[in-house]
Structure formats: structure tokens, C-alpha cells
């Protein structure tokens, strides 16, 4: 049987005859000594080679054609110890190295391994969460209770699950997160960075910019392009560039960013965060996978609020919590900020405390305003509303928002309701462009008086 052995010309033999592995020929050249070959032993199939590491004699089996399990793996130790297959996909670089499974000490450990393992896992996660929060003492509650992992992100499980599959398969695209503030866009991308690079080193692999400050074309040409040109050392992975508030970037900066995204895709992935996706140019949108973060459900916000209340020992009443959830409107950041402000200002956080801290009109005051506009005489109602605004420090903009919510509970003919809603929208628009509050208040009073007449005729 032919054995594939290195020729003396391509692989020069070792000098000297120390171990008796070489023999001299008549012309003075040293050639490898013929060794006895066990013909009964299993020989490697074609396409494989036995190579020696030169020191211990341990062989490395290589090759793609034929061979056993070691040949299929592409790399194995000749001493019988199996090494982990060298990663061939980008996703393999992000997987933590598997540790050896701990040996069970008794049969009871093997029998109850499933239940005990899940219990230990849950307990370990709770301990890790407590350690994470303990290291963030002194921070505002918004930052202290910011999610650390994708599992901690409130709601949006479909989005986080899709991105986890992207990472596992090594196919993470450029991302575009858009939606109202306080819905978890920044927390999600930071959790993704921790998942890919690890807690200890993820900061060195990302570039986080707030486009509301760094919004010009010079930032794209200098900071972003300079970061994108360099690759990650000792790895085939990529770096991450996070652009928050990207809808504030100028059109020229977005045009330059489009070219950078095209040119340096091998080195970096971009994650663009914004509140209004229509302010992002179509050229950038087409190069990213878009995910919309909708306002958080009230139940999800309530769970987080209960967790913070329990840990921070906040004395909050049921009506105070309902007012907090109502005013947050799916914004987790707003809910935690208001809760922290009320806890600092009042011993007991009730409904009045929440409305006082936020500056929003109390529902009872709004109801009194609506009743006055519908029942009282024009001048009397005007004086009452003006005095109430001075005493409570209210703005007409807030009264219009509260009036819209109260109208949902008032029984009116369809014609009168449509007319009032139209006038409320016009008053709000005029206030936004700088109109006088006195003029808009009288216009709102006139609209209510006319709506009452319509309801009487119906």
C-alpha cells in the first residue's frame, strides 16, 4: 500500500542521526529511514495526511476527502483529545466557549437535574440582577433600571427574538429603530451590544453618538468614517455604530452617511434610532431593517412601576398609580421620572401629587371647565376659566387636551360632537404657531356655545 510520505527534496530531513531516524546514502545525503508498517491497522483514506508536530509525535489529521469523524471535523488531536471545531461563521465568534459539564455527585442530582437546574438558573438570574442594580446606586431611576439584557426589555418580544436569531446565524443587518420616546429603542441596542461583545468589552466595540448634538456632515466624515475604517483586532467580527435621534441629522449628513454604510459594511453595522421615520431619507431606510417600537402597554408599565416601588419603598396610593400610568401614555421613561420626582417631593404619592409634579390639570378641574363652558353665561365662564388658570398655573394647551378626553364621556349629538372636535383641533394648531391664549379661549367658548345650540336643535 502506498503511504503518502514527504519527499526528501520538498521537506529536508533533520540534521544528525541522534535518534536513529535517518540513514546516510552513498552520496552523503541523509534520507528518512524506512519504518515498519502495520498492514492490519486501519489506514487513512485518500486525501488525508499524517503530520507530526515535531515535539511529542502527536499527529494532526487534516483533509476534506474521506476519513472518519476526525477528518470531517477538519482538525483533531492525535493523542485522542478532541478540540472544538474552529469557527467558520461570524456567529461562532460570538458564542461563549462551552465549559465542561459538572459531574453529578449522586443519583439524586441526576434525577432532579431539570427542576434543580431551572431553580438555580432563576436564582442566579435574580442574584445577577441584584448585583447589577447595586452597582448603579445613585443614578436616576431611568438609568438605574435600564434593561441589561434582551430578556429584561419590556414588551417587544417579537423584535428581540428576531434580532437574536440574526445574531445566532451571523447575519445581523443594519438596523433602524423608530417609535415614540421611552419605548426601549436605546435599551434594546445596548443589550444587543452586550450580547455580542460581552459586558466587559462592549464599550470598546461601539461608537454611540447623539445626532441631536452631532448632526452635521463633519461628524460623518470624521468620527463615523474614522471609526468605520478600522477593523476589530484579532477577530472576524464587526463593530457597532449607534446613531440616536438620527431624525435630527441634516440632509447633507444623511447623504454622506449613506455612502459610509455602503462602503464599510464588512467592518461595522449601523443602528439608527429615531422618533419620526419619515425624516430619514429613503436611501438610508432601504439599507436597513426597520423595527417599529410602539407605545408600551399599560400592564407592562405597571409591572415595572411595581418593581421600582417595591425596591425603592415608595408609598404610593392606588389612585396615584392609576394617574401615573394614565399620564405616562406608554412612555416608560416618563413614568419613572414622574415617580422619582413625586417620591422626592411627597411622603405619599397620590393622585394630587402626580398631577402637581407633572403640571397637568387635574381631571376635576377640567370637568369643571367643560361644565362651565356648556352651562354658564359667556362672560361668567370666561372669568371662571381665567381665574382657574391663574390659581392652578395651567396652560390653555393642557386644558384643550383634557377637554378632548372629557368629551368622550359627554353625551352629545353627532353633529355637535364633530363640530367641537374640529374647533379643538383648530385652537391647538393656532396655539402651536404662536396665537394669543385669550383669543383662542374666547374662540373655544364660542364653539361650545354653538355646539350647545346644535344639540338643542337636534
pLDDT of residue 381: 93
Domain boundaries, the chain: 144-292, 298-358, 363-457
- 327: which residues sit within 8 A by CB, 6+ positions away? 334, 338, 354, 355, 358, 360
Who has greater pLDDT, 132 or 45?
A: 132
Residue 56 — φ and ψ, nearest 5°? -105, -10
pLDDT of residue 259: 87
Report the length, in residues, of the chain: 458
Tell me: pLDDT of 325 over 70: yes
pLDDT of residue 105: 40
Tell me: pLDDT of 330 over 80: yes
Who has greater pLDDT, 122 or 299?
A: 299
Percent of the chain topping pLDDT 90: 36
pLDDT of residue 132: 62
Asked if 288 and 175 touch (Cβ cutoff 8 Å), the reply is: yes
Q: Tell me the mean pLDDT in the region 335-364.
A: 91
pLDDT of residue 22: 44
The CA-to-CA distance between both ends of the chain, in Å, stands at: 107
**CATH number belonging to the domain at 363-457, selected among 1.10.240.10, 1.10.150.20, 1.20.272.10, 1.10.630.10:** 1.20.272.10
Who has greater pLDDT, 137 or 150?
A: 150
Asked if 69 and 42 touch (Cβ cutoff 8 Å), the reply is: no
Phi/psi region, residue 169 (left: phi>0; alpha: psi -120 to 50; beta: rest), is alpha
Q: Tell me the mean pLDDT in the region 397-418.
A: 89
Query: Which helix H or strand E contains 110, and what residues bound it?
Result: helix 107-111
What are 137-147's pLDDT values in tens digits? 668 888 888 88
Q: Tell me the mean pLDDT in the region 180-187.
A: 91
Task: Provide the pLDDT confidence category of residue 32 given band limits of 50, 70 and 90.
Answer: very low
E strands in 203-267: 206-210, 239-244
Q: Tell me the mean pLDDT in the region 15-20.
A: 42
What are 34-89's pLDDT values in tens digits? 444 444 444 444 443 444 444 444 443 334 334 444 343 444 334 444 444 434 44
Asked if 275 and 247 touch (Cβ cutoff 8 Å), the reply is: yes
Q: Out of 88-102, 212-226, 390-404, 443-457, which region has the weakest mean confidence (pLDDT)?
A: 88-102
The Cα angle at residue 429 between residues 428 and 435, in degrees rounded to 5: 90
Helix (H, G, I), strand (E, B) or coil at 270: strand
pLDDT of residue 201: 82
Q: Rounded CA gap, 286 and 278, in Å?
A: 12
| Averaged pLDDT score across all residues of the chain | 75
E strands in 201-301: 206-210, 239-244, 268-274, 289-292
Residue closest to 452 by CA, chosen among 407, 400, 392, 387: 407
Q: Which residues pair with 52 in a beta bridge?
A: 59
Tell me: pLDDT of 411 over 80: yes
Tell me: pLDDT of 3 over 90: no
pLDDT of residue 126: 57
**Dihedral sign from CA coordinates of 330, 240, 162, 132:** negative
Tell me: pLDDT of 305 over 80: yes
Asked if 396 and 437 touch (Cβ cutoff 8 Å), the reply is: yes
Task: Provide the pLDDT confidence category of residue 96 given band limits of 50, 70 and 90.
Answer: very low
Residue 268 — φ and ψ, nearest 5°? -135, 160
pLDDT of residue 69: 40
Q: Rounded CA gap, 447 and 453, in Å?
A: 10
CATH number of 144-292: 3.40.50.300
CATH number of 298-358: 1.10.8.60
pLDDT of residue 232: 66
Who has greater pLDDT, 15 or 229?
A: 229
What are 189-244's pLDDT values in tens digits? 999 999 888 888 888 888 888 866 767 777 777 788 888 877 766 555 788 989 98
- 228: which residues sit within 8 A by CB, 6+ positions away? 239, 241, 260, 263, 264, 267, 268
Q: What share of the chain is helix, strand, coil (3-state, %, to 5)?
A: 50, 10, 40
Amino acid at each position: 500500500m502506498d503511504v503518502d510520505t514527504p519527499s526528501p527534496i520538498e521537506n529536508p530531513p533533520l540534521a544528525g542521526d541522534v535518534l536513529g531516524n535517518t540513514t546516510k546514502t552513498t552520496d552523503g545525503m541523509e534520507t528518512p529511514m524506512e519504518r515498519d508498517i502495520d498492514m492490519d491497522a486501519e489506514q487513512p483514506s485518500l486525501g488525508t495526511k499524517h503530520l507530526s508536530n515535531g515535539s511529542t509525535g502527536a499527529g494532526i489529521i487534516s483533509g476534506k476527502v474521506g476519513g472518519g469523524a476526525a477528518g470531517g471535523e477538519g482538525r483533531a488531536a492525535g493523542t485522542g483529545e478532541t478540540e472544538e471545531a474552529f469557527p467558520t461563521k461570524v456567529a461562532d465568534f460570538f458564542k461563549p466557549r462551552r465549559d465542561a459539564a459538572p459531574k453529578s455527585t449522586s443519583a439524586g442530582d441526576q434525577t432532579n437535574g431539570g427542576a434543580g437546574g431551572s431553580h438555580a438558573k432563576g436564582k442566579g438570574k435574580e442574584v445577577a440582577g441584584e448585583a447589577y442594580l447595586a452597582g448603579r446606586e445613585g443614578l436616576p431611576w431611568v438609568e438605574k433600571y435600564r434593561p441589561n439584557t434582551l430578556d429584561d426589555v419590556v414588551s417587544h418580544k417579537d423584535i428581540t427574538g428576531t434580532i437574536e436569531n440574526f445574531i445566532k446565524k451571523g447575519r445581523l443587518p443594519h438596523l433602524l429603530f423608530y417609535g415614540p420616546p421611552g419605548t426601549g429603542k436605546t435599551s434594546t441596542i445596548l443589550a444587543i451590544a452586550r450580547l455580542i461583545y460581552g459586558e466587559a468589552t462592549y464599550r470598546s466595540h461601539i461608537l454611540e453618538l447623539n445626532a441631536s448634538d452631532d448632526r452635521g456632515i463633519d461628524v460623518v466624515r470624521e468620527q463615523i468614517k474614522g471609526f468605520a475604517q478600522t477593523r476589530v483586532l484579532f477577530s472576524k467580527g464587526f463593530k457597532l455604530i449607534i446613531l440616536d435621534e438620527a431624525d435630527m441629522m441634516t440632509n447633507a449628513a444623511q447623504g454622506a452617511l449613506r455612502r459610509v454604510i455602503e462602503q464599510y459594511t464588512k467592518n461595522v453595522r449601523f443602528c439608527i434610532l429615531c422618533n419620526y421615520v419619515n425624516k430619514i431619507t429613503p436611501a438610508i431606510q432601504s439599507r436597513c431593517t426597520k423595527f417599529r417600537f410602539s407605545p408600551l402597554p399599560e400592564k407592562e408599565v405597571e409591572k415595572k412601576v411595581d418593581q421600582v416601588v417595591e425596591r425603592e419603598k415608595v408609598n404610593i396610593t392606588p389612585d396615584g398609580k392609576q394617574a401615573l400610568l394614565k399620564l405616562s401614555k406608554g412612555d416608560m421613561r416618563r413614568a419613572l421620572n414622574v415617580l422619582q420626582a413625586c417620591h422626592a417631593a411627597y411622603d405619599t404619592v397620590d393622585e394630587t401629587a402626580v398631577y402637581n409634579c407633572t403640571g397637568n390639570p387635574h381631571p376635576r378641574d377640567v370637568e369643571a371647565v367643560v361644565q362651565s363652558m356648556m352651562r354658564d353665561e359667556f362672560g361668567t365662564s370666561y372669568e371662571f376659566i381665567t381665574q382657574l388658570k391663574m390659581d392652578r398655573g395651567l396652560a390653555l394647551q393642557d386644558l384643550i387636551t383634557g377637554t378632548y378626553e372629557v368629551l368622550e364621556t359627554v353625551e352629545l349629538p353627532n353633529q355637535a360632537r364633530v363640530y367641537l372636535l374640529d374647533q379643538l383641533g383648530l385652537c391647538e394648531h393656532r396655539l402651536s404657531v404662536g396665537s394669543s391664549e385669550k383669543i383662542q379661549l374666547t374662540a373655544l367658548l364660542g364653539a361650545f356655545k354653538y355646539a350647545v345650540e346644535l344639540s338643542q336643535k337636534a
